[in-house]
A and B are shown apart, each in its own frame.
Chain A
Amino acid sequence: MSIFVDQQTRLVVQGITGRDGSFHTRQMIGYGTRVVAGVTPGKGGQQFDGVVPVFDTVADAVRETRANTSVIYVPAAVAVSAMFEAADAGIPLIVCITEGIPVLDMTRVLPYVHERGARLIGPNCPGLISPGRSKVGIIPGSICRTGRVGVVSRSGTLTYEIVHQLSTQGLGQSTCVGIGGDPLIGTNFIHCLSAFQADAETDAVVMIGEIGGTDEQQAADFVQQAMTKPVIGFIAGQTAPPGRRMGHAGAIISGSSGTAAEKMAAFARAGIAVMKRPADVVPLLKEQL
């Protein structure tokens, strides 16, 4: 098993003919993901690279190919519409890679998606990968190994760094999920932790948070109350100044809340072993397993 994506994943790529969409579609196909359809309005009827049928709408793609997962690579100005469209087409898992979506737009997208029973991952995220099974998004397949550690993170390249440490030191992953660096996201730490707890093939979880908001504190409470599997945690931004947006729209310390120190303390109180630096991941996990 794994969480959210596996061999049953039938992927439709929204924005398949764009610069990013086409590049990453080839990467995903190369990894073994079943990319069954692409969507670019006006290019319906074409074939992408001679192997993937392109449709004008997500609804057409779902009807013709039984796609059950969508990944969105379209620019920020049209990404909101792409999320609404995927939800309307009945796609149960929508992964939005696009960065730069206004937060107020997300206040409208999230209830719409949830009411249709869909799960949104992102936006502004690297997507997810179940090594050896399916990759949806942009996480480099080459750094992952099959295994039994679940990884959930608000970051992109920091996740690669930590996954790289795991893989090169013999700890493979069941699924790695990048939940995104924006203040409003569809899937949070708790959703992922809960799925990892239920997954028979995950033995432990690495949770990578950062400054801003209180998602990590809530996740810590959840770990304490509902998880039996070991969880280790990292928080980026211990040296970040307050009031400044550190790249990610959600990575900002406002007032006294959202600091790294506060989040690390919440982890420690909940029995989550806290990594001081990325290189601590393997030694800490080995202590726990």
Chain B
Amino acid sequence: MNLHEYQARDILRRHGIPVPPGEVATTADEARAIAARLGGGPVVVKAQVHAGGRGKAGGVKLAANADEAAAHAAKILGMTVKGLTVRRVLVAPAVDIGSESYVGIIVDRTSQRPVLMVSAAGGIDIEEVAAQTPEKIHRLAIDPRYGLLPHQGLGLALTLYRDIAQARAAADIMQRLYTAFYTVGASLAEINPLATTRDGAVAALDAKIVIDDNELERRPEVAALRDSSADAPSEVAAREAGLTFIKLDGTVGCCVNGAGLAMATMDLVKYYGGEPANFLDIGGSSNPQKVVSALRIITADPSVRAILFNIFGGITRGDDVANGIVQATREFPLKVPLVIRLTGTNQELGVQILTQAGFSALTDMDEAVKQAVARAKAA
């Protein structure tokens, strides 16, 4: 789960990391009031949206005074960045920046540890730095049993700052960021830029935190930060129904059990010349109701021209899926053709249920995908 910048800033602030003040506005008037409260001087107005490259898309603007802040907010609110609509802006004082560094923590799959990454070349082009000049990024795998040791933090901080007071301040920030990382259950936490201001202070000007979805059940206070308005409505509905669903741009709606098979099914749709409309995993222990929810979500997408079920029964039972399909089509008649592939556990029973309801079922994955692609093109 992605957090917004303002939420990430709050978390850092609560962990004692210096973060300049700032508040969130949903209207231009609110933005004006916040700018006035911040002293009426120059402020920065920043789109709060789950997409990188906000600045390059025009979602970050400097304002000289409160009226200009309101004018910028009016333009930024409602704009789209990489397909996502901006509904909130952060209004924060414009800071006179001396230098920009990068500090981030991820869980590294190879070392199987949290890895702290720092670079003196921070700012908006950090991804380019990582790709072009990776030697400018210093990395340290942390032993989670001991945490970030003080000399390790200071050693990395000294690659950012020659001034020992600034290095100590940065090391302290790294220590606190590491604590915050574990406390909220993050899979990524980064400060970019970690900036020095004209008076020599070190502060976090922008922050990004991604939460491990598996942490949400035991951290309700973090789960409460979810902004469902930032997700596609179909994805919100799927989440509530216990399904994993991702909307794509094609015309073949896919309903599959298991994530790997779901991806392989999408790939096969493409292989046979079609385009998948979605990723959808109905999960392991499929009750018929999940299948009903899945069909409701797929059919709500107007670009879907055909629906493909690909079920390989293991824990998932063919009769459960068949009952779900029959039940769903009684509740809401389908307007697009349906191609069903059903094999594995309780296959015979499932096929029997489908046949009685007037559907036919295939057993071969390639054949089913070919038919679904052909039907989608004919429609």
Please tell me the number of chain A residues within 8 Å of chain B, measured between CB atoms: 59
Contact among A103, A161, A215, A246 with B279 in the assembled complex (CB-CB below 8 Å): A246
B260 in contact with A140 (CB, 8 Å)? no
| Pairs across A and B, CB under 8 Å, 10 listed | A102-B214, A138-B314, A138-B315, A155-B261, A157-B316, A181-B260, A184-B109, A211-B263, A239-B248, A247-B263
Looking at B217, B244, B260, B268, the one whose CB has the most chain A CB atoms below 10 A away is B260
- Mark interface residues in B241-261 (1 if CB within 8 Å of A CB, else 0): 000101010000000111111
In the complex, B149 has a CB within 8 A of chain A: no
Query: Is B246 within 8 A of A237, CB to CB?
Result: no
Among B29-37, B54-62, B64-72, B110-118, which stretch is in contact with chain A? B110-118
A161: B residues at CB distance < 8 A: 261, 264, 312, 365
Task: Name the interface residues of A133-185: CB closer than 8 Å to any CB of B.
Answer: 138-140, 143, 153-161, 164, 181, 183-184
CB closest residue in chain B, given A154: B260
List the A side residues contacting B158 at CB < 8 Å.
none
Interface residue ranges, B against A (CB under 8 Å): 107, 109-110, 112-114, 127, 130-131, 143-145, 182, 185, 187, 212-215, 217-218, 244, 246, 248, 256-264, 266-271, 276, 279, 281, 284, 312-316, 343-345, 365-366
Measured between beta carbons, the chain B residues less than 8 angstroms from A155 are 258-261
Tell me the minimal C-beta distance from A142 to chain B in angstroms.
Answer: 8
Tell me whether A246 and B314 are in contact in the complex, defined as CB-CB below 8 angstroms, given that A184-B112, A277-B267 are known contacts.
no
Decide if A76 touches B217 in the complex (CB within 8 Å).
yes
16 A-B pairs besides A139-B314, A251-B260, A251-B263 with CB distance below 8 A are: A76-B217, A77-B217, A100-B214, A104-B114, A140-B314, A156-B259, A156-B261, A157-B312, A160-B312, A160-B344, A161-B365, A181-B259, A237-B263, A246-B262, A246-B263, A250-B109
Compute how far the CA of A174 lies from the CA of B175 in the bound complex, rounded to whole angstroms. 49
* Contact flag A249-B244 (CB < 8 Å), given A103-B107, A111-B145: no
Let me know if A244 is at the binding interface, CB within 8 A. yes
Complex CA distance for A195 and B364, rounded to whole angstroms: 32
Distance (whole angstroms) from the CB of B272 to the closest CB of chain A: 9
Task: Write the nearest CB–CB distance from B111 to chain A, whole angstroms.
Answer: 10
Known: A161-B365, A164-B312. A239 touches B217 (CB 8 A): no
| A-B interface, 8 closest residue pairs, ranked by CB to CB distance from nearest | A155-B260, A247-B259, A157-B258, A158-B260, A236-B263, A157-B261, A237-B263, A158-B261
CB contacts (< 8 Å) of B145 on chain A: these are 108, 111
Query: Is the CB–CB distance between B215 and A102 below 8 Å?
Result: yes
List, in ascending order, chain A residues with CB within 8 A of B365's CB. Answer: 161, 278-279
Q: How far is the CA of A138 from the CA of B259 in the complex (A)?
A: 16
Q: A102-B215, A103-B187, A276-B271 are in contact. Are A214 and B279 (CB under 8 A)?
A: no
- A227 contacts partner chain B, Cβ-Cβ < 8 Å: no
User: A266 to chain B: closest CB distance in Å?
Assistant: 15
Q: Report A-chain residues with C-beta under 8 Å of the C-beta of B284.
A: 156
Within 8 A of B (CB), among A105-145: 106-108, 110-111, 126, 138-140, 143
Which A residues are CB-close (under 8 A) to B256?
157
Contacts of A126 in B (CB 8 A): 314
Given contacts A100-B214, A161-B365, A184-B112, contact A238 B267 (CB under 8 A): yes
Q: Is the CB of B107 within 8 A of A246?
A: no
Shortest beta-carbon distance, B279 to chain A, in Å?
6
